[in-house]
Amino acid sequence: MKKYIFVLSNAAHTGTYLQETLDVILTTAAFDQSVAILLVDDAVFDLKQYQHSTELTFKDTSAIFQSLALYDVTNIYVELESMQAYGIQHSDLIMNAKIIDRSDVNSLVKQYDVVYSS
């Protein structure tokens, strides 16, 4: 089994990128691969509560994030400095993600066989 980490850096409602990436994540996990997600930069908004995607005619991705555990995708990381830059607190997130310092991102990514960065 290979270990995959998906590094997300764009906000959810800037196009279909997040929906497509989540489809790839779910497909990868469905084939019994080890999958983790790291959210950096604008992607920290992907896990923020009270998003109103229907007003923008985008699919609500918060439900998909919350169902990732059903596919054994439980390693969700959020970069602390990105959260701080936008004033987002851990309690603002829709799920209990692991907070990671920017200085630890490189060592985290090195633990995985495949890095998918968008």
User: How do residues 52-78 score in pLDDT, each as one tens digit?
Assistant: 555 544 566 777 888 888 999 999 999
User: How do residues 18-38 score in pLDDT, each as one tens digit?
Assistant: 888 888 999 999 998 999 999
Domain enclosing residue 39, as ranges:
3-117
Confidence (pTM): 0.88
Q: Supply the DSSP symbol for 12.
A: G
Q: What is the CATH number of the domain that holds 47?
A: 3.40.1260.10
Residue 23 is inside which H or E element, if any?
helix 17-30
Separation CA 61–CA 87 (nearest Å)? 21
Q: What is the count of structural domains for the chain?
A: 1
